[in-house]
Structure 1
């Protein structure tokens, strides 16, 4: 006959085994939803097709993980899709929807689209206010999509420009790093070019506001009409009809 201590020991081990089994089942139930290899491949293809980086660019797609708090019903067919207004550039997302299963669901999967191409980088640390010279920049492969500001690719577009932000050595030089150019001052005579479908009309007017690069400006014509457009060159403004 087994002693009470022996029986207690056996009962304890059985109870512990049961608890561990339940804990394992709970962990599996709470595990974040995994992505099927076929669906992941479709996500990559959608990201590659939608990025449209231009000739000579190299694209890398990093597929993230679904939110670990999601509890998705079983699904026989998952369809990746691009949410309206989404740009497949940098950190973005792709939709996943169940089109064949017990219940329909729609979730979003984080993805990062990296677009590598040749662009200008700082040859050495560059301080705020520095007027760029040709030897301040060099060409290297950069991720065009890592910043929302456009990467500068041509030396002639940056030489002679002043920096509005500091740039580290090897860092991609962006439009946002440069101080906006002033194409004309308020009161100056400006050539105004109105662009339409297959035609253009030019006239002159007096600038009511400074013509800063990337910012709308206003020009008053001889007839007294006030036009708003974008400064694009020395004493020149364009607007679309």
Structure 2
């Protein structure tokens, strides 16, 4: 009986070691996550951003099916809009699985901020802007880093000096104001006919507005294509 028990115990121990050796361990998952975050940090450094990161360690007792392909790691949230995006770690092999790993990511870099107090409806010029170092991904609506996205835009509401510019603060200025005289182009392919009209509403480029054709007195709906110009299909 003692010999049987001893042999059985040896077999159970050997089987357990085989299973543990073949499974994906918590350390392997943690290592794959670290390599992914390091690669992300290096890529952003090339663009002028500094990235610090920390990933939570999975429970050391975690044991998932062995993966016969390299582990796939990706962000499950947008790292540019949150400092806690979490990672999706998955195996796409014969025995697929997936798990989420909490991580902390801080992206620091230059963003555009108001150089002075700005009023609602104010048109932005270069003098209204300055750059400042901010934690970009702590600004959920997305910090703006390009002057081209700001110059010429209007403020949706007033802000204090130092406020980081985000898309929700901006309005595209109207290319046509109500009452403006406009050129109406009736276009079909490369052929077009122009006439004079008057805008009955304000609108930005790409928007639809009502326009009165001054020759026929008809009211038509036209698309704003440029300041002072609208287009209707023939």
| Alignment correspondent of 1:96 | 89
CA deviations on 1:31-53 (whole Å, 9 max, x unpaired) are: xx78844212233156458x8x7
Does structure 1 residue 171 correspond to structure 2 residue 166?
A: no
Q: Which residue of 1 aligns with 2:113?
A: 121
**Residues 191/227 of structure 1: CA separation in 2 closer, same or farther (3 Å cut):** closer
1:217 matched residue in structure 2: 208
Q: State yes or no: 1:74 paired with 2:26.
A: no
Q: Residues 141-195 of structure 1: CA distance to partner in whole angstroms, max 9, x if unpaired?
A: 3455434356153389447x65323434433223432343111135652577x9x
Matches within 5 A, 1:149-168: 149=142, 151=144, 153-154=146-147, 157-158=150-151, 162-168=154-160
Q: Does 1:139 align with 2:131?
A: yes
- Quote the Cα distance in structure 1 between the aligned partners of 2:103 and 2:209: 41
Equivalent position of 1:38 in the other structure: 31
Tell me, in whole angstroms, the C-alpha distance in 1 between the residues paired with 2:131 and 2:112: 5
Contact 2:113 2:165 survives alignment (8 Å): yes
- Residue of structure 2 in register with 1:185 after alignment: 177
How far did 1:121 drift?
1.4
Mapping of residues 194-233 of structure 1, within 5 Å: 210-212=202-204, 216-218=207-209, 233=226
- Quick check: 1:93–1:109 contact (8 Å CA) kept in 2? yes
Give 1:66 deviation, angstroms.
8.1
SS at match of 2:146: coil
Q: If the length of structure 1 is used for normalisation, what is the TM-score?
A: 0.50
CA RMSD of aligned residues (A): 5.2
**Equivalent residue for 1:58, pick from 42, 49, 52:** 49
> Aligned pairs, how many?
192
4+ residue stretches of structure 1 with deviation over 6 A?
Answer: 199-203, 219-222
CA spacing shift, 1:76–1:221, aligned 2, 3 Å: farther
5+ unaligned residues in a row in structure 1: which ranges? 1-32
